[in-house]
Amino acid sequence: MSERIKQVTDASYQQDVLESQEPVVVDFWAPWCGPCRMMAPVFEELADEYAGKVTFVKMNVDENPLTPGKLGIRGIPTLVIYVDGEEADRSVGFVPKPLIRRKVEAVLAETEGK
């Protein structure tokens, strides 16, 4: 996995995601999930492309069940984009790279307008 992608836990979610100064894209996943494995290289490429602008993190839902439960994560992979600690977008299932890029660009355009 890319060194640009941080693994977050139930214990670190508040600090790493909700208190981040940058927009954050969270990939809720599990190792046994086929679509999650398909998403991994796409997620890594985007993390490299947006380095310094957007933080990309992954949360293993098997090892960290509290946060996904609180957020109502029912299917994986689920991508959630946060801006200033607030959920700005959510996608469930495999999402093609161009669509994720559009969602990230929309969030960046909003944050630049602030």
**Which residue is associated with the tokens 């999930």?**
33
Provide long-range contacts, Cβ within 8 A and 24+ apart, for 80-88. 80/25, 80/26, 80/28, 81/23, 81/24, 81/25, 81/26, 81/107, 82/17, 82/18, 82/20, 82/23, 82/24, 82/25, 82/26, 83/23, 83/107, 83/110, 83/111, 85/17, 85/18, 85/19, 85/20, 88/23
* pLDDT tens digits for range 19-68: 999 999 999 999 999 999 999 999 999 999 999 999 999 999 999 999 99
Rounded CA gap, 114 and 11, in Å?
A: 30
pLDDT at site 57 = 97
33 is catalytic: yes
pLDDT at site 42 = 95
36 is catalytic: yes
6: confidence class by pLDDT, cuts 50, 70, 90: very high
pLDDT at site 22 = 94
Could you give all domains of the chain from N- to C-terminal order, each with its CATH number? 5-108 (3.40.30.10)
Q: Out of 36, 47, 76, 88, which one is annotated catalytic?
A: 36
Can you give the pTM of this predicted structure?
0.94
Going by C-alpha positions, the residue among 70, 71, 76, 74 that lies closest to residue 58 is 76
Q: Out of 2, 6, 30, 33, which one is annotated catalytic?
A: 33
pLDDT at site 4 = 86
* pLDDT tens digits for range 72-83: 999 999 999 999
